Amino acid sequence: MPKPDSYQIFAIKYATLGGRNASENFVEGDPHERGSNLDYFVWLARSPRRTFVVDTGFDARVGRRRGRRMLIRPERGLALLGVDARKVKDVIITHLHYDHVGNFGLFPNATFHLQDDEMAYATGRHMGNAFLNHAYEPDEVVGMVREVYRGRVRFHDGDVELAPGLSLHKIGGHTQGLQAVRIHTRIGWVVLASDAAHLYENLEHARPFPIVFDVGRMVDGWRRLRELADAPERIVPGHDPLVMKRYRAPRPALEGIAVRLDRKPGR
Ligand SMILES: [Zn+2]
């Protein structure tokens, strides 16, 4: 086994959504109780040899239509970290929801890494149901099908190592083919949960998020995330505003825009 590379990992916060109640964040949450905001992220994992972008965020037009507030264009956030979207070779799409796959067109040289089950789900029988399809944008799913025909989608079935120190893990639950990303860093193995855990509270208090395909797999997924990470605090949820509080900006100019996830949480 080659020694795993150590990656720097960045979370870039590109949008936010407030005014939520608890029933929007938890199955059986109280609709009269205030709920956490959701932040929206794309992630960057970089070693001396490889650069991976994890998810591409929502498209500004789609975000506006859905009432989300964009703070910075995801590609601009990447540029501030020295990454030109046009040159990126590997983009991991954790799942095909609008807030994770919009903007894929800004990565003309990338291979998109996707689970077989996610494409099957997003193009299959369940998409006839509004409860299951509402976080997908048909045009984006169709766009990704076009990328399949161009040979630019690399499908994975389950768990796979993409590079020494970086692997994909099918979790399912939130969607049928959701995958998390496990990354080796100087503080150990960090897991980008994406929407296997929207908020720390979903994971820590075992409270499922209400946008869900298979609750059983979502619940199993929390245990899988713990197995994959070196410590529970190395699991990074997909939408929690606390991520920006627990980790530090890579430099003062990026305060509020990006944080480094390969440094210990806490100030
Ligand atoms: Zn999401």
88 band by pLDDT with thresholds 50, 70 and 90: very high
Distance 2 CA to ligand 1 centre (A): 33
Indicate the average pLDDT of the chain. 95
Distance 130 CA to ligand 1 centre (A): 17
pLDDT at 200 over 70: yes
| Numbers of helices and strands, H then E, in the chain | 9, 13
Distance 197 CA to ligand 1 centre (A): 9
29 band by pLDDT with thresholds 50, 70 and 90: confident
Res 3: pLDDT: 84
Distance 41 CA to ligand 1 centre (A): 8
Region 84-112: mean pLDDT is: 98
Minimum mean pLDDT range among 7-11, 182-186, 209-213? 209-213
Distance 209 CA to ligand 1 centre (A): 11
Q: What is the DSSP letter of 169?
A: E
Region 228-257: mean pLDDT is: 97
Distance 239 CA to ligand 1 centre (A): 7
pLDDT at 266 over 80: no
36 band by pLDDT with thresholds 50, 70 and 90: confident
pLDDT at 26 over 90: no
Q: What tokens were used for 70?
A: 């964009």
Res 67: pLDDT: 92
259 band by pLDDT with thresholds 50, 70 and 90: very high
Phi and psi angles of residue 192, each rounded to the nearest 5 degrees, phi first? -85, 110
Distance 227 CA to ligand 1 centre (A): 22
Kind of pairing between the strands at 153-156 and 160-163: unpaired
Of the candidates 14, 16, 50, the residue with the CA atom closest to the CA atom of residue 181: 50
Region 43-67: mean pLDDT is: 96
Distance 44 CA to ligand 1 centre (A): 16
Distance 238 CA to ligand 1 centre (A): 6
Please state the three-class secondary structure of 54-120 as a single string: ECCCCCHHHHHHCCCEECCCHHHHHHHCCCCHHHCCEEECCCCCHHHHCCHHHCCCCEEEEEHHHHH
Res 121: pLDDT: 98
Res 1: pLDDT: 65
Q: At which residue do the structure tokens 């709920």 appear?
A: 35
Distance 171 CA to ligand 1 centre (A): 14
Q: What is the pLDDT of residues 159-196, one digit of tens each?
A: 999 999 999 999 999 999 999 999 999 999 999 999 99
Percent helix, strand, coil in the chain (nearest 5)? 30, 25, 45
Angle CA(258)–CA(16)–CA(126) in degrees, nearest 5? 110
What ranges in the chain are assigned the alpha helix state H? 60-65, 74-80, 98-101, 116-122, 130-133, 138-149, 200-204, 215-228, 242-246
Hey, which residues does 160 pair with through a beta bridge? 168
Give Cα 30 distance to the centre of its chain.
26
Distance 3 CA to ligand 1 centre (A): 32
Distance 13 CA to ligand 1 centre (A): 12
CB 62 within 8 A of CB 162: no
Q: What tokens were used for 156?
A: 């994975």
253 band by pLDDT with thresholds 50, 70 and 90: very high
